[in-house]
Amino acid sequence: MHESPMINVGGIDFDLSIIIALIVSCAVVFILVKLATRNLSVENPGKLQNFMEWVVEFVQGLISSTMDYKKGKPFLSLGLTLIMFIFVSNMLGLPFGLVFDYTSVEKATAFGQPLTSVVDGLAKGSHGVEVAWWKSPTADAGAAMGLALIVFILVHYLGMVRNTKSYFKHYFKPFFFFFPINLIEQFSKLLTHGMRLFGNIFAGEVLIAVLLKMSGVWYGAIASVVGLIVWQGFSIFVGSIQAFVFTILAMVYISQSLETEEDH
Amino acid sequence: MHFVWSSLVVTIIAFLILYWLLSRYAFGPLFSVMEKRRELVKQQMDEAALTRSQAAQYVEDQKAALQQARKDAQDIIEQSRQTSNRQAEQLITQAKEETTRLKEEAAREIESEKNKAVAALRSEIGAVSVQIASKVLEREVDAKAQDQLVDNYLKEVGIRQ
């Protein structure tokens, strides 16, 4: 597996490939949505506006399938941002990769900072360290968990503020001694929420990297191309499904935290 | 693969910025336009339904009017037929009356002519019978006189001839 381009700024390690990917994802989503909403028309909507309206209606469908739509309406923007951001992020690593092979410490710099992963790798005695600069941000556990954490914090904030009594009560349901189990459940929700996304996308990218490495010999190259065609197609499917799953789970958790009657 | 905490923080920041930007610049107008479009569609559908019901009403009205017109026409035809029938009957009756009247008049005239003729005849007969009677009486006076009377009479007849 390729190394990440790590730099150390002020004692904190930053993964540059994730930061680049995040910026690109945000920019793509924002530009796409901005283009779609540039010439809004009531009577004669353009193709992009129609597409955006389809996305909005899709997310509205997600929300109304998990909770009363009146309650869920404020989360429409959140759901839209989530599904578009995650979808674009998942797609980002698919079309190509940018892998650089660093053999000397002097060349391995970015923004004037040494790439610590390369420095460490060379110090361990490797001849060269391959660094992947381009990947899906959601193929990083930190990024995926960050998204899950946003939802987690929102869900618990909503539970505490909007639904205080039943929120605290539900930790002790059905019996008092279920408290540790309920607590674990909450954190396992956070973990599975983020890790499901990360695992799916990361696995996809690992297999793409493996298939790319096969192309050293001619029969390997043929197998690699065939495999990539199949696997990238499947990755598009997986990426869409994961964006959908992540968003609908976020909506399910929100609806659970907003439920006043704990009858499940 | 190791967990990079900075990625988590950067992701949260990036996502929140994206969320803020989208909510601020893109979603507001989009949602309001979608709401407007929904209202427009609803309004147009309402209008269409209204127009359709109006059209149905018009058709119904037209049908009723057509029915009425047909009925009126029928009535008028019926009426005129009756009128013409009555007129024809009237004419026939008039004609009949006229003929009867004429016939009666003619009969009356004939009657009166006949009466006149009878009266004339009767007066003639009276005169003739008086004459005959006087002639008969004259003869009875005497034979001679009677002969003379006959002679006279014959003479008279001869003269007349």
Instruction: Tell me the domain boundaries of chain A.
Output: 6-258
Question: In Å, how far from its chain's centre is CA A83?
Answer: 9
Of A30, A76, A137, the CB nearest to B11: A137
SS3 per residue for B62-131:
HHHHHHHHHHHHHHHHHHHHHHHHHHHHHHHHHHHHHHHHHHHHHHHHHHHHHHHHHHHHHHHHHHHHHH
Tell me whether B21 touches chain A (CB under 8 Å): yes
Residue A113's SS3 state is strand
Mean pLDDT of A152-174: 87
The interface predicted TM-score (ipTM) is: 0.88
pLDDT value of residue A264: 47
Tell me whether A203 touches chain B (CB under 8 Å): no
Which residues on chain A are in Cβ contact (under 8 Å) with B23? Answer: 77, 81
Residue A9's SS3 state is strand
Tell me whether B11 touches chain A (CB under 8 Å): yes
Measure the CA dihedral A50/A52/A53/A57, to 10°. Answer: 140
pLDDT value of residue B140: 64
Tell me whether A142 touches chain B (CB under 8 Å): yes
Residue A24's SS3 state is helix
pLDDT in tens, B21-52: 998 888 888 888 888 888 999 999 999 999 99
Beta bridge partners of A114: A109
Q: Do B15 and A202 touch (CB under 8 A)?
A: no
pLDDT in tens, A164-200: 888 888 888 788 888 889 899 999 999 999 999 999 9
DSSP 8-state code for residue B25: I
Tell me whether B6 touches chain A (CB under 8 Å): yes
pLDDT value of residue A1: 62
Contact A97, A211 (CB under 8 A): no
- Neighbouring residues of B22: CB distance < 8 A, sequence distance ≥ 6: A29, A30, A33, A77, A80, A81
Q: Do B26 and A33 touch (CB under 8 A)?
A: yes
Name the token pair of A11.
């004692």
> What radius of gyration, in Å, describes the C-alpha atoms of chain B?
63
Relative to beta strand A113-114, strand A109-110 is: antiparallel
Question: What is the distance in angstroms between the Cα of B44 and the nearest Cα belonging to chain A?
Answer: 11
Cα–Cα–Cα angle for B137, B141, B147, rounded to 5 degrees? 90
For residue A122, count other CB atoms closer than 10 A to its CB: 18
Mean pLDDT of A10-23: 87
Which residues on chain B are in Cβ contact (under 8 Å) with A41? Answer: 33
pLDDT value of residue A91: 92
Mean pLDDT of A239-248: 94
> What radius of gyration, in Å, describes the C-alpha atoms of chain A?
22
Tell me whether B31 touches chain A (CB under 8 Å): yes
Of B15, B22, B36, the CB nearest to A33: B22
Which residues on chain B are in Cβ contact (under 8 Å) with A140? Answer: 4, 7
Chain B CA closest to residue A9:
B6
pTM of the model: 0.73
A206 pLDDT more than 70 = yes
Residue A125's SS3 state is coil
Name the token pair of B140.
């009875």
Residues of chain B with pLDDT below 70 are: 1, 138-143, 146, 159-161
d(CA A151, CA A154): 5
Nearest CA-CA partner of A143 in A20, A5, A8: A20
Helix H or strand E encompassing A189: helix A179-213
pLDDT value of residue B5: 85
Chain B CA closest to residue A50:
B34
Question: What is the distance in angstroms between the Cα of B48 and the nearest Cα belonging to chain A?
Answer: 17
Relative to beta strand A12-15, strand A6-9 is: antiparallel
Chain A CA closest to residue B44:
A43
- The sign of the CA dihedral B113, B116, B120, B122 is positive
Best of A3, A25, A40 to disrupt the B interface by mutation (most B CBs within 10 Å)? A40
Confidence category of residue A251, pLDDT binned at 50, 70, 90: very high
